[in-house]
Amino acid sequence: MARRLTPWRWAVLGLAALYFLVPLGASVVFTIDVPGQGITFDAYSRILSADGFVSSLLLSLELAAATIAAVLLLLVPAVVAIRLGVPRLRPVVEVVCSLPLVVPPIAFSAGIATVLKWGPDHLSRTPLFQTFVAIQNENFPVVLVLAYVVMALPFVHRALDTGLRAIDVRTLVEAARSCGASWPQALVRAVLPNLRGALLNAAFLTLALVLGEFTVARLLGYTPFAVWIYNVGESQAQMSVAVSVLSLLVTWALLLALAGAGGRTRTASSRG
């Protein structure tokens, strides 16, 4: 039987709801209440036709897809191998993956900018010069993907580690190996299906990070979605806030959908 919520829990939930809903409601009022015109939704209707909206959003989504793929390809085999072979290295990997949390984004951006400036000056006569040029392509800045992979490490590692704690990885891999599967096949066919919820969590956290990241992209001179919102806010404050409100609502919708998918997965697993 589900536990009943105590008055203290209701109070905490109520305060949390006020903390989120009051600023959101004020933002919505700001976008639709125009002095002298009354209620109007022009700020929302002009979003799709705004200059740079589609291109910046597509760029952020492309960066998010590349970051998700890169960070999962990097961490999933690593955390599985550590759990199976060298569990003593787990604290070391956890500390390394947590380091981005203690490095300020401005310092991180300054370090990247210094490296990007140092490279062409000292490697102009080597093949690596073209690499420095390619990763700074404005159409798809790979340097942002590399930066976002580092920034996403703490969240992705925590999500994957939590998912691995809930399953018996060793038994799954040994069963797959006994059936003739290779190590990559055992990982793909036996482990990954049982990490579906953790992978979804990691992907969602990375997507939210990339869509909302501003400091690194701004300091490096690129214009993904978050930077575009800031630029629009300098001349069209209402549209900037309207886009932010819609982004927040979409993020919440994705979070609720993810929670629902995770709940259905757990229910199906328990029934099976």
Helices (H), 39-125: 42-45, 53-84, 90-98, 105-122
Domain for residue 155, yes or no? yes
Domain assignment of residue 238, yes or no: yes
How many Cβ atoms from other residues are within 10 Å of residue 215's Cβ?
15
Which tokens in the block code for residue 124? 């102009």
The predicted model scores a pTM of 0.83
Span of 95-99, 178-182, 218-222 with lowest mean pLDDT:
178-182
Q: Is 151 inside any structural domain?
A: yes
Q: How many domains does the structure of the chain reveal?
A: 1
Asked if residue 177 belongs to a domain, the reply is: yes
Please give the residue that has the higher pLDDT: either 105 or 127.
105
Domain that holds residue 71: 53-265
Buried b (16+ CB within 10 A) or exposed e, 78-94: ebbebbbeeeeeeeebe
Q: Residue 148's closest CA among 78, 81, 200, 203?
A: 203
For a pLDDT cut of 90, what percent of the chain falls above it? 27
C-alpha 200, offset from chain centre? 11
pLDDT at 266: 53
Domain assignment present for residue 34? The answer is no
* Residue pLDDT, tens place only, 110-160: 999 888 888 777 777 777 778 888 888 889 999 999 999 999 999 999 999
Q: What stretches of the chain show up as alpha helix (H) in DSSP?
A: 7-32, 42-45, 53-84, 90-98, 105-122, 128-134, 142-165, 169-178, 183-186, 196-212, 215-220, 225-233, 237-271
Decide if 35 is inside a domain: no
Q: Is residue 45 part of a domain?
A: no
CATH code for position 171? 1.10.3720.10
Structural domain contains residue 137: yes
Q: Which of 52-66, 226-240, 253-267 has the lowest mean pLDDT?
A: 253-267
